[in-house]
Chains A and B, each alone.
Chain A
Amino acid sequence: MNIKNYSKDDLDNILSIKGNSLYSDAFKRLLKNKASLASLIILLLITLLSIFGPYLLQYDFYETDWNSIYLAPSIESGHYFGTDGNGRDLLVRILYGGRLSLSIGIIATLVSVLIGVTYGTIAGYFGGKLDTIMMRIVEILYAMPYLIFVIILMVIFGRNIYLLFLAIGAVEWLTMARIVRGQTISIKEKEFIEASKSLGQSSFMIIIKHIIPNLAGTIIVYITLMVPSVIILESFLSFLGLGVQEPLTSWGVLISEGSREMETAWWLLIFPGLFMVLTLASLNFIGDGLRDALDPKEY
């Protein structure tokens, strides 16, 4: 085949015209959805506050002050959200807790997505006996009470934040694997997969190039729903005393401490609760908006 050459200008011209991918279309639709947009902004604000807020405040999260125990929220004292039983500033503790809760949420979700997608696509794509065996394993793990699993891990390896990430991720990936497997099976039947196979593409590349990009929408939606559930799971473990250790804190820990003292110091429950509810609600709204945006009725 003799190849006609294009001048550099022509080539640049052709390559400069960009199409609208389905994802960029979906993102535009997401921004049109007011609830999702507001949620995105709130979430961004909370994240930025958690990361940079502690540097701007005059107190430290472990700094105890025996002269100001159970101070109610006030502007004059500089404890805008009040203080706890050890005289520690609540605002700074909430922001520190946010760092931890959000990062557990994100890291544990990423771990579960990574395991779940790999496992699910392999089971779904190859099918047959391999699929049966892999999915039976998932079902067996599902049947195991995860709390015992987490407690055993804690007992063996000691209490440790990284272990907490791992333990939660190891529990959550099961759901992901199931969802991904189901989606993979339906995508596998599409003609473009067959087309790629008939071109001689290897199975590995088909999964990477054709299946995962088409799964991405579903995965993103589930991430936004999984992050809140991970945050709640962490709160629950902290509530049981299996979570993070003092003086480190997370929203779950703060809420569980606050609930014990809510009759004397309401702010200890209300403020961390507010942050957590806002975050979870925002994530859920974004997930909802994403689902609508990725699956538009009109086309």
Chain B
Amino acid sequence: MSYNLLEVKDLNCRFEIERNLFNQNKYLHVLKNINFKLKQGSTLGIVGESGCGKSTLCRTILSLNSKETGNIIWFNRDIDEFSKKEFKNFRKKVQIIFQDPYGSLNPRMTIGNIISEPLEIYKKDNDKKLKTLKVLNIMEKVGLSDLLFNRFPHELSGGQCQRVGIARSIINEPDVLICDEPVSSLDLSVQSQILDLLKSLKNKLNITMIFVSHDLAVVKSISDEVMVLNQGEIVEMNSAEQVFNDPNDEYTKKLISSVPRINNIG
């Protein structure tokens, strides 16, 4: 039976853009009243154009951003109430994959060290050989040759780097994986490989996913449910089929009709 893993309630988020002497600070409201529930085992796709707040939403869920008001509820408990130890466990269970495959890897570390970083954070008493074995196993799982173990990120292709990012995020067996534009900076053929990898990992490891992208086609191919964001607000949230085949909202319709299609040649 599926249950709610993560729940977001009335989330608001704003950034200060101007500060003046009299405390009449100007704010930019990035997220307005976001509400959603994430069912265990499902994939939630979030689409929207740049500046709609989709990345901010991801980062706020992970507490990488501070929020204005609202609650993030993990297994029926507000994460604000978590003790330091519980919060660390939350971080372990909710992982993120970033857009820039090179930028999200420390250029001075070897691939092996990058992937084993999460192991070192949570299980300090592990012996070295076991760690190496775990890393090699996970590398095999995401389709990386074990010969890359001692290589550095700049010696890898973009697709390989993204696989390293994925390996790092799943090595501690998370419950939720947030993918923030994971394929946007990759070539088309590499994109489809990475998407296939994510799909198969999701099934194998029983991971719940939040998949963020500006690319409707990509979101469509992977999501069960889709949330359309525009200027910080949810304009439509429904099953993927419903959103793409029979959109209710005007904005969604415009978004879908803007996608260039190969067979209506201008």
- B136 near A6 with CB under 8 A, answer yes
Complex: A5 Cα to B133 Cα, angstroms: 7
- A192 near B105 with CB under 8 A, answer yes
B85 to chain A, nearest CB (A): 11
- A201 near B117 with CB under 8 A, answer yes
- B150 near A197 with CB under 8 A, answer no
Residue of A nearest to B154 (CB): A22
Contacts of B152 in A (CB 8 A): 19-22
Contacts of A191 in B (CB 8 A): 98-100, 103-104
State which of B15-23, B106-114, B209-217 sits at the interface with chain A.
B106-114
Residue of B nearest to A211 (CB): B106
- B133 near A3 with CB under 8 A, answer yes
User: Is A159 on the interface with B (CB-CB < 8 A)?
Assistant: no
Complex: A21 Cα to B146 Cα, angstroms: 18
B200 to chain A, nearest CB (A): 16
User: Is B175 on the interface with A (CB-CB < 8 A)?
Assistant: no
A1 in contact with B95 given A194-B64, A195-B165, A198-B62 (CB within 8 Å): no
User: Is A145 on the interface with B (CB-CB < 8 A)?
Assistant: no
A109 to chain B, nearest CB (A): 22
Residue of B nearest to A189 (CB): B103
- A23 near B108 with CB under 8 A, answer yes
Choice from A4, A198, A202 contacting B64 with Cβ under 8 Å: A198
A212 to chain B, nearest CB (A): 9
For chain B residues 129-170, which have a beta carbon within 8 Å of chain A?
129-130, 132-134, 136-137, 140, 146-147, 149-152, 154-155, 165, 168
State which of A9-17, A66-74, A219-227 sits at the interface with chain B.
A9-17
A22 in contact with B107 given A1-B173, A6-B136, A199-B117 (CB within 8 Å): yes
Interface-centre pick from A14, A17, A191, A198 (highest chain B CB count, 10 A): A198
Residue of B nearest to A23 (CB): B108
| B-contact bits for A163-197, CB 8 A (1 contact / 0 none) | 00000000000000000000000000011101111
- A214 near B107 with CB under 8 A, answer yes
For chain B residues 78-101, which have a beta carbon within 8 Å of chain A?
88, 91-92, 95-96, 98-100
User: Is B121 on the interface with A (CB-CB < 8 A)?
Assistant: yes
Complex: A21 Cα to B105 Cα, angstroms: 13
User: Is B70 on the interface with A (CB-CB < 8 A)?
Assistant: no
Choice from A6, A192, A199, A210 contacting B91 with Cβ under 8 Å: A199
Complex: A3 Cα to B139 Cα, angstroms: 12
Choice from A3, A210, A213 contacting B134 with Cβ under 8 Å: A3
User: Is B27 on the interface with A (CB-CB < 8 A)?
Assistant: no
Contacts of A6 in B (CB 8 A): 133, 136
For chain B residues 184-230, which have a beta carbon within 8 Å of chain A?
none
Contacts of B92 in A (CB 8 A): 199-200
Contacts of B118 in A (CB 8 A): 199-200
Contacts of A3 in B (CB 8 A): 130, 133-134, 137
Interface-centre pick from A6, A19, A216 (highest chain B CB count, 10 A): A19
Complex: A252 Cα to B129 Cα, angstroms: 55
User: Is A18 on the interface with B (CB-CB < 8 A)?
Assistant: yes
A90 to chain B, nearest CB (A): 46
Choice from A20, A195, A214 contacting B96 with Cβ under 8 Å: A195
- A14 near B136 with CB under 8 A, answer yes
A192 to chain B, nearest CB (A): 5
B142 to chain A, nearest CB (A): 14
Residue of A nearest to B136 (CB): A6
Contacts of A197 in B (CB 8 A): 64
- B154 near A1 with CB under 8 A, answer no
Residue of A nearest to B58 (CB): A198
| B-contact bits for A255-299, CB 8 A (1 contact / 0 none) | 000000000000000000000000000000000000000000001
* Besides A200-B121, A202-B121, A213-B109, 15 other A-B contacts (C-beta < 8 A): A6-B136, A19-B110, A21-B108, A190-B103, A191-B98, A192-B107, A194-B64, A194-B104, A196-B117, A198-B91, A199-B121, A200-B88, A209-B106, A209-B109, A214-B108
Residues of A within 8 A of B (CB): 1, 3-6, 11, 14-15, 17-23, 190-192, 194-202, 205, 209-210, 213-214, 216, 299
What would be 23 A-B contacts, judged by CB atoms less than 8 Å apart? A1-B134, A1-B137, A6-B136, A14-B136, A14-B149, A14-B150, A19-B110, A22-B152, A190-B103, A192-B103, A194-B98, A199-B92, A199-B121, A201-B117, A205-B121, A209-B109, A210-B106, A213-B108, A213-B109, A214-B106, A214-B107, A214-B108, A216-B108
